[in-house]
A = this chain, B = another copy of it.
C-alpha cells in the first residue's frame, strides 16, 4: 500500500509542508570533496598515468596505455550492428526529431548601423570543443547521449568528446550505438572525477575541451563544480521531478503511470499530482495501488512516492496555477482540455507537456525538445539544455569618426565621474572638436 502524502492546499500548515517537500540541496561532504580535489590535482599533473591508475581502482579495468582508453570508431559502428534493428531505428528517429527541433534554436550573428556610420552587433560562434559525460552502470542512458550531443552538433561544435565508464569492462551497446548515430568525434572509457579532470585539463590522450555537459553522480557533480571557470559546465542537476495537473477527466490509470514514470528514476525522484477534483485524486491513488505491483521497478517507485511524492487537492484552476508557479517543476504535465489557454499564466517550468496524449515519457525520448531540464525549482532562472548552450557571443562595436566624436565626449564625462582618467583620455583622443 502506497503511503504517498495526500494534502489539501487549504489545510493549516500546507505551505510549510510543501516547502519541506520541495527542499533539496546537493551537498558534497568533506570526504567527497577531498577525494575529488586529489583526483583532479593528480590528473592535472600526471595526465594519462593518473587516469590509468584511477580507472583500474574505481572501474576495476586494467589498461596498459593511454591509447587503450579510446573506444574506436569501428567499435561504435559495431555497436550499431549489435543492437536489434527496432532499437536502432528508434534511436535514429529520436536523433532526427531532436535535430529537427534544435535546428530552430540556432542563433545568428546580427549587426545594425547608426546614422553616423557606427556599426553595432553580436557575432555568434559555436564552442570549439565540448566534453560529454555519460554515466555507466545502472543509469547508462542512450537517450542522454542524443539529448546532449545533438544540440552541440547542431551548434557547430567541431570536437565533441564523450567519456563513459565501463566498470568491470561492461559496455552498454545502446550507448555506443547512440554515439555513432550522433557522430561523436571520440569516445574514452573513463568515468568519475578523473574523467571530468581529463576533459578540463587535457592529458596526453584526452584533449582539453571548453565546456563539459552531462549528468553524473556526486563525484562527477563535485568535479564539475571544481573545474568550473577553467571550462564551462551545464547545470548541476538535482533529482528528477514531475508535476501533473489534471482537471479530473483523464483516465486515472494514465495519470498513475505518468507519476510512476518519474518515480522510477530513483528513490529521490519527485512526483506530484495537483487536481481540483477530490474524487479523481482518490481514483488516481487507487490506480497507483492497483498498478504498482505490475511495475518491475516497484520498490524504487514506492520509496520515491512515499518519501517525496504528493497528491494535492486544490480549490480551482487558479490555485493549481499558483501551485505550479511555486513549485516551478522540471516537468509539468497539463492534462486538461485546453492547455494552451493556461500557458500565459505559467511562469516557471522546464518543459510543459500539454494535453492528455502528451505523456512525459514521449518528451524523454523522441518528441524533439531536450530532456535535460532545470530541476529543484531552478526553472525560475534557467532553461532546458539547447543549442544556445553551445554557442557564444562576441559584442561588435565599430565606431565611425563622427561617432567617436559624439561618444568620446559622453564617455569622457562618465569616466571623469568614476575617477578613471585614462579611460577619459582614451575616449577624448578620438574627439575632434
B101 & A394 in contact (Cβ 8 Å cutoff): no
B399 & A367 in contact (Cβ 8 Å cutoff): yes
B404 & A359 in contact (Cβ 8 Å cutoff): yes
Task: Give A168 Cβ to nearest chain B Cβ, in Å.
Answer: 18
User: Which residues from 392 to 433 on chain A have a C-beta closer than 8 Å to any C-beta of chain B?
Assistant: 392-401, 403-404, 407-408, 410-411, 413-415, 417-427, 429-430
Partner of A229, one of B25, B105, B251, B426: B25
A422 & B382 in contact (Cβ 8 Å cutoff): no
Residues of B within 8 A of A379 (CB): 392, 394
B229 & A352 in contact (Cβ 8 Å cutoff): no
Residues of B within 8 A of A105 (CB): 122
Measured CB to CB, the nearest residue on chain B to A233 is B381
Measured CB to CB, the nearest residue on chain B to A390 is B381
Partner of A261, one of B261, B296, B384, B426: B426
A381 & B343 in contact (Cβ 8 Å cutoff): no
B366 & A420 in contact (Cβ 8 Å cutoff): no
Residues of B within 8 A of A21 (CB): none
The answer, yes or no, to whether A224 is at the interface (CB within 8 Å) is: no
A397 & B128 in contact (Cβ 8 Å cutoff): no
A392 & B383 in contact (Cβ 8 Å cutoff): yes
B297 & A421 in contact (Cβ 8 Å cutoff): yes
The answer, yes or no, to whether A93 is at the interface (CB within 8 Å) is: yes
B346 & A422 in contact (Cβ 8 Å cutoff): no
B380 & A128 in contact (Cβ 8 Å cutoff): yes
Measured CB to CB, the nearest residue on chain B to A124 is B383
B297 & A397 in contact (Cβ 8 Å cutoff): no
Task: Give A228 Cβ to nearest chain B Cβ, in Å.
Answer: 9
Task: Give A108 Cβ to nearest chain B Cβ, in Å.
Answer: 12
Partner of A422, one of B87, B301, B355: B301
Q: How many residues of A contact B (CB 8 A)?
A: 118
The answer, yes or no, to whether A258 is at the interface (CB within 8 Å) is: yes
Measured CB to CB, the nearest residue on chain B to A91 is B414
Binds B, one of A60-68, A74-82, A185-193, A368-376: A368-376
Measured CB to CB, the nearest residue on chain B to A325 is B128
Interface of A is mostly: mixed
Partner of A426, one of B110, B360, B401, B418: B360
User: How far does the alpha carbon of A297 sit from the alpha carbon of B110 in the complex, in Å?
Assistant: 37
Residues of B within 8 A of A352 (CB): 123, 394-397
B395 & A229 in contact (Cβ 8 Å cutoff): no
Task: Give A390 Cβ to nearest chain B Cβ, in Å.
Answer: 9
User: How far does the alpha carbon of A126 sit from the alpha carbon of B50 in the complex, in Å?
Assistant: 45
Task: Give A266 Cβ to nearest chain B Cβ, in Å.
Answer: 11
A421 & B295 in contact (Cβ 8 Å cutoff): yes
Residues of B within 8 A of A355 (CB): 398-399
User: How far does the alpha carbon of A241 sit from the alpha carbon of B370 in the complex, in Å?
Assistant: 36
Partner of A254, one of B357, B399, B414, B426: B426
B426 & A260 in contact (Cβ 8 Å cutoff): yes
A411 & B362 in contact (Cβ 8 Å cutoff): yes
Measured CB to CB, the nearest residue on chain B to A143 is B414
Task: Give A353 Cβ to nearest chain B Cβ, in Å.
Answer: 5
User: Which residues from 324 to 345 on chain A have a C-beta closer than 8 Å to any C-beta of chain B?
Assistant: 332, 339-340, 343
Most chain B CB atoms below 10 A, which of A254, A358, A403 = A358
Partner of A264, one of B357, B413, B420: B420
Measured CB to CB, the nearest residue on chain B to A258 is B426
User: How far does the alpha carbon of A94 sit from the alpha carbon of B340 in the complex, in Å?
Assistant: 40
Task: Give A111 Cβ to nearest chain B Cβ, in Å.
Answer: 10
User: How far does the alpha carbon of A418 sit from the alpha carbon of B422 in the complex, in Å?
Assistant: 61
The answer, yes or no, to whether A43 is at the interface (CB within 8 Å) is: no
- Pull 9 A–B residue pairs with CB atoms less than 8 Å apart, ordered by A: A25-B230, A229-B236, A232-B382, A251-B429, A297-B421, A297-B422, A354-B397, A359-B408, A384-B394
Q: Which 4 A-B pairs have the closest CB atoms?
A: A232-B381, A369-B395, A354-B398, A351-B395
Other 5 A-B pairs with CB < 8 A, given A25-B229, A382-B392: A251-B429, A257-B426, A295-B421, A359-B426, A364-B411
